[in-house]
Structure 1
Amino acid sequence: MRIFAATFLLVSAVFTCSFAQEKTTSGNPIFKGWYADPESAIFNKQYWVYPTFSAPYKEQVFLDAFSSEDLITWTKHPHVLDTSGVKWAKKAMWAPGIVEKENKYYLFFGANDIQNDKELGGIGVSVSNHPGGPYKDLIGKPLVGSFHNGAQPIDQFIFKDTDGQYYMIYGGWSHCNIVKLSKDFKSLVPFKDGQTYKEITPDKYVEGPYMFVRKGKYYFMWSEGGWTGPDYSVAYAMSDSPLGPFKRIGKILKQDPAIATGAGHHSIIHNAKKDLWYIVYHRRPLTETDGNHRETCIDVMSFDENGLIKPVIITKEGVKGQRLD
């Protein structure tokens, strides 16, 4: 009888331990390593995140990707793109932007951190037959390789409008441009007024633009503050057009001194079938002072009855597991 009781207790303990260890939320960060500027997407019923490898510029010579079927367990896809396949890129490979078109995947990226028009670098574009790569340079040179309207050519976001037109929204140094992409993504197309680079910079914009449409309204989001400091944050505006005008409404993502600092440079995941919204962003643990020590996190984003974005509550738990039907 004692042997039976002991065996029962042992089995119960193992079962309880296994059950307790089974994750039901993503946790934050969602994967290990220093990663920032996360671009997120849904491809083939999987969640994907494409971040910057957060390290000194000369070490930023590749991009990794991560995929998940449930927001909890993430698979790493190392070096989906690196400078060995982009002859003009030497360092500072930053802030990917991803889009799928006609069964091909286009990964846009910034490289070389150019400081003026005499330097080689800017925004490039690569292509693959699979979201996990490998990606190859599409045009062999930067798509945008110089300054326009004061905007450093970095932090590009690819936006598909409701009419099927693809735009690229980009810019650092507190200036933001919107440009029209050609159908093959190999060049830019002028607007009807002859302009190629239209500035849409809202108040307090710094970098990291993002845009989405909800109920006929264009939501334009960006990062404010300094990326190495605790004041890094995300604000937004709304308009009836992707060209604006965009009047700043306010911040929706910022640090919580009890959890993490420097919460910013984000992207959005929208589960359209269940109308669930998530914000994917980077932040700095309270234990870290190195500017590059940033980690990728996810939390719930929601709206009020007027369509305004509610302030995001940053958490250690992250979000509940959610599969895509």
Structure 2
Amino acid sequence: MIKKVAILLVAVFATAFASSQSKNDQKKKSGNPVFPGWYADPEVAVFGKEYWIYPTYSARYEKQVFFDAFSSKDLVHWTKHERILDTATVKWARRALWAPAVVEQNKKYYIFFGANDIQNDHELGGIGVAVADRPQGPFKDLTGRPLIDKFYNGAQPIDQFVFKDKDGAYYIFYGGWRHCNVARLNNTFTGFVPFADGTTFKEVTPEGYVEGPFMFIKDGKYYFMWSEGGWGGPDYSVAYAIADSPFGPFRRIGKILQQDPAVATGAGHHSVLQVPGTDHWYIIYHRRPLDETHPDHRVTCIDRMYFDEQGYIKPVKITREGVEAIR
């Protein structure tokens, strides 16, 4: 009898230990989504030894009046920083704060954002910029007016991404309504430097482009990425091109991120992280849980991104587990 009890106790403790180990193992990965709440259009940045995600608060346009941010030292444990910017400090913005893009320059942090979802050149709104002394803000409006408030080349002024080139020049890529422009920012981020031909906004729209541009450099090549499909539908996805300069021409290669009907739908509007000093790459994006049909019910996720021997991006496998902690 004593022997049977001992065996039973061993089995119970073994089960408990296995369960505990399983939970500990799970904590070593981020899980997807990486933090709770409805958040979309995530932009990732590295400031010092911390990783930051700046997303859109995913709600009806009238409720999109602020941004939250999230910071982490390992991509697994995230700290929420609430209302780093809101319309109370941007007098011309009243709703639809979208797709923040954040850069650091001269120990200042700049957040570029779209506001008001303007539909023509006569409405107030477009792309603005705010500044702060810390990555968590608070951010204050830099210019008191939009930087871009017109539909140049047919591009709605939304979904901005700021890219620093190898020579130190900063460019802003942006555009909805299936058009994408690029312009060179001046040193204070308060305006633009015209191109050699006298123009300020050049169209660089690749085949299939809808919105959400992003760019990075790898092995001397410029990888230009964007979102395709409808943002509220299951076909939302990410495609890319490779070029020898930030101005293209950008020949569409194909999709690398899209829905998996077994995991989630509407996977799109992303950013890319290369862990400094490594060849480890991650894609940060939003998607819609399988049990959600509301277009605003979107969550932020992270998965690994890999390249093949020719430098092409392999199709991303979207997961529920997410990524392992970075040590």
TM-score, normalised on structure 2? 0.95
Question: What's the counterpart of residue 3 of structure 2?
Answer: none
Alignment of 1:20 onto 2:22: yes
| Alignment size in residue pairs | 323
The equivalent of 1:166 in structure 2 is 170
Structure 1 residue 9 displacement after superposition: 9.4
Match of 2:308 in 1: 304
Q: Percentage identity across aligned positions?
A: 64
* Structure 1 pair 49–5 and aligned structure 2 pair: CA distance change class (3 A): same
Corresponding residue for 1:46?
50
Query: 1:261-280 CA deviation, whole Å, 9 max, x = no partner?
Result: 00000000111312100000
| Distance across 1 between alignment mates of 2:8 and 2:132 | 57
Matching residue of 2:297 = 293
Give the superposition deviation at 1:15: 6.1
Matches for 1:267-286 after TM superposition, within 5 Å: 267-286=271-290
Q: Which residue of 2 aligns with 1:224?
A: 228
Any idea what SS the aligned residue of 1:149 has?
helix
Q: 1:117 Cα deviation (Å)?
A: 0.7
| TM superposition shift of 1:19 | 3.7
1:36-57 CA distances to partner (integer Å, 9 max, x unpaired)?
0000011111110000000000
Aligned AA (2:319): T
Q: Distance in 1 between matches of 2:176 and 2:292?
A: 25
Counterpart for residue 104 of structure 2: 100
Residue 33 of structure 2 corresponds to 29
Structure 1 Cα separation of the partners of residues 45 and 257 of structure 2: 20
Alignment partners' CA distance in 2, 1:169 and 1:316: 31
Q: Which contiguous aligned blocks of 4+ residues in structure 1 show a shift greater than 2 angstroms?
A: 4-22
Aligned to 2:263: 259
Q: Secondary structure at the match of 2:154?
A: coil
Name the amino acid aligned to 1:287.
D
CA distance in 2, matches of 1:107, 1:127: 6
Aligned to 2:86: 82
Secondary structure of the structure 1 residue equivalent to 2:88 = helix
The answer to whether residue 110 in structure 2 is matched with residue 109 in structure 1 is: no
1:214-252 CA-partner distances (Å, limit 9, x unpaired): 111000000000000010000000100101100100000
Q: Structure 2 CA distance, aligned partners of 1:291 and 1:89?
A: 23
Match of 2:325 in 1: 321
C-alpha offsets along residues 269-321 of structure 1, whole Å, 9 cap, x if unaligned? 11131210000000001100000000000000010000000000000011111
Match of 1:62 in 2: 66
Equivalent-residue separation in structure 2 for 1:274 and 1:13 (angstroms): 38
1:185 aligns with 2:189: yes
Superposition CA RMSD, Å? 1.9
**Secondary structure in structure 1 of the residue aligned to 2:188:** coil
User: How far is 1:8 from its partner?
Assistant: 9.6
Q: Structure 1 counterpart of 2:287, which letter?
A: R
Aligned mates of 1:309, 1:8 — CA distance in 2: 49
